[in-house]
Amino acid sequence: MFDTRYEVRVVLPLLAVRSDLNRGGSRFVELTAGSVIVTAEAFDKPGLLKVRKGEEELLVFARDLQERTEPLYGATGSDGEW
């Protein structure tokens, strides 16, 4: 998975894009409140960041992660502030 990882809980629904566009179905995925996602990328840069929800790799805007998630304390790399 990731060496350094940030685990966060979605507190407000947000839209993600599947990174595997060859897969059938919708390219967009709604991450509902309560979902737990993991990323190796810090949220301090703009743009799309790779995240994982379970085994699925998705792309989410950094701003959405900043505004619509909260850290899961005790996670590697999570200090409670974005």
For residue range 14-50, what is the model confidence (pLDDT) as tens digits?
999 998 766 666 689 999 999 999 998 888 888 999 9
Considering the domain boundaries, does residue 1 fall inside one? no
Considering the domain boundaries, does residue 12 fall inside one? yes
pLDDT given at position 24: 65
Contact 53, 31 (CB under 8 A): yes
Q: Give the range of the structural domain holding residue 25, as residue numbers without chain letter.
A: 6-71
pLDDT given at position 20: 75
Task: Give the predicted TM-score (pTM) of the model.
Answer: 0.77
Q: Give the 3-state secondary structure of residue 39.
A: strand
Considering the domain boundaries, does residue 82 fall inside one? no
Considering the domain boundaries, does residue 13 fall inside one? yes
Considering the domain boundaries, does residue 46 fall inside one? yes
Q: How many domains does the chain have?
A: 1
Q: Give the 3-state secondary structure of residue 50.
A: strand
